[in-house]
Amino acid sequence: MCAMLDLSALTDPIPLARRLIQAPSVTPADAGALDVLSEALEALGFVCTRFRFEEVDNLYARLGKAAPVFCFAGHTDVVPPGDEAAWSRGPFEAEIADDVLWGRGASDMKGAIAAMVAAVARHLQASGEPAGSIAFLITGDEEGPAINGTKKLLKAVTDKGERFDHCLVGEPTNPHHLGDTIKVGRRGSLNGVVTVTGQQGHVAYPEKAENPIPVLIDFLNRITAHTLDEGAPHFQPSNLEVTTIDVGNAPHNVIPAKATAKFNIRFNTAHTGDGLKQWLREQAIAAEQGFFGDFDLDLTVTGDAFLTETGPFTDLLRAAVKEQTGHDPALTTGGGTSDARFIKDYCPVAEFGLVGETMHQVDERVPVSDVTRLAAIYADVLQRYFKTFA
């Protein structure tokens, strides 16, 4: 099999994209996806090292020993297909029909990983060994808890002396057309669970009970009525959303003992996770004044907001996208979180990949022409990168 993966064969991303999709790597299973990728990278001369953290497999690969180090980052794990009977074509068959590649992971983001490999093959074919190094940082835990993936992988490889100068993540950043959007930052995310515990009792004798519901309502009113900000440069306003309120009290004549709620804050660079935690604790203290039960606030920041400043790196990314697509991409920060939130602590990072209209949906798919054009964009990025920074 390795003999078939010569340099010229790997300049076409579609065969590799199909092989990756055919590996049913639903988080946290790898199902052979990283074996397929390692085989292709080793055929290009990369040194591949696997890192396993608990049930998650991860891959680090590097070609070259000199600086600067340009890193491609992404994930081979995918979300479950859902009802497979609802798919027009099998979610792991990687069928091509009417010049469209179908399958789970086609857009998010096995198609982009295949384009990265094809881009390296094209760069080596056109220019020989890079004037620096190219690395791949690939996890199997992006769609899962993101505990045993990129975060631990970064620490492991940097503890061994690896360093990165810039990183490009292949998330499907484009909303409608290839070339729409480059992500140069992400909002932060904070999850909150509030549990108020009082004293159950009869509604006719409230003095013998301690109702947790008014305290919970007071707290939620305080945090939802507050305007977090009006936005920040390159960022939309932060938003707080209550996602569930649970009491589970069926009778009309019983004051419940406990009430809980969950909420999420997506925040921009006007805030830090620690700052929002402090504000929420202050609102909790105000809401529980005069309450004789327990008020528990469980807060978890899954990532702080960050922004990669515009400059030579973002300029060359925009130039490559415009050259290959004719579109001048917007530099944005919208959407959810990604593993870029971990990478930004090690080097400047941006994100650009395929169109994400069908990601995580039944019948996930992407035009074959988009995958091949993405490979051309990534190859253009490599050419410009080493001319700019080497």
DSSP 187: -
142 part of the active site: yes
Cβ atoms of 138 and 34 within 8 Å: the answer is yes
Given a cut of 90, whether residue 362 has pLDDT beyond it is yes
What is the average per-residue pLDDT within 106-126? 97
The domain made up of 2-186+305-389 has a fold known as Aminopeptidase (3.40.630)
Domain boundaries in the chain? 2-186+305-389, 188-303
Given a cut of 60, whether residue 165 has pLDDT beyond it is yes
Asked if the bond preceding 109 is cis, omega within 30° of 0, the reply is: yes
77 part of the active site: yes
Number of neighbours of residue 230 by Cβ within 10 angstroms? 10
Enter the pTM of the model: 0.90
Annotated catalytic residue, options 57, 108, 142, 364: 142
Query: Distance between CA atoms of 379 and 10, rounded to whole angstroms?
Result: 13
What is the average per-residue pLDDT within 51-72? 97
Given a cut of 50, whether residue 379 has pLDDT beyond it is yes
Annotated catalytic residue, options 30, 77, 108, 304: 77
What is the average per-residue pLDDT within 272-292? 97
Q: Quick one: what percent of the chain has pLDDT higher than 90?
A: 96
Euclidean distance between the first and final Cα of the chain, in Å?
35
The domain made up of 188-303 has a fold known as Alpha-Beta Plaits (3.30.70)
Q: Quick one: what percent of the chain has pLDDT higher than 70?
A: 98
Asked if the bond preceding 68 is cis, omega within 30° of 0, the reply is: yes
Q: Residue with structure tokens 């988009």?
A: 370
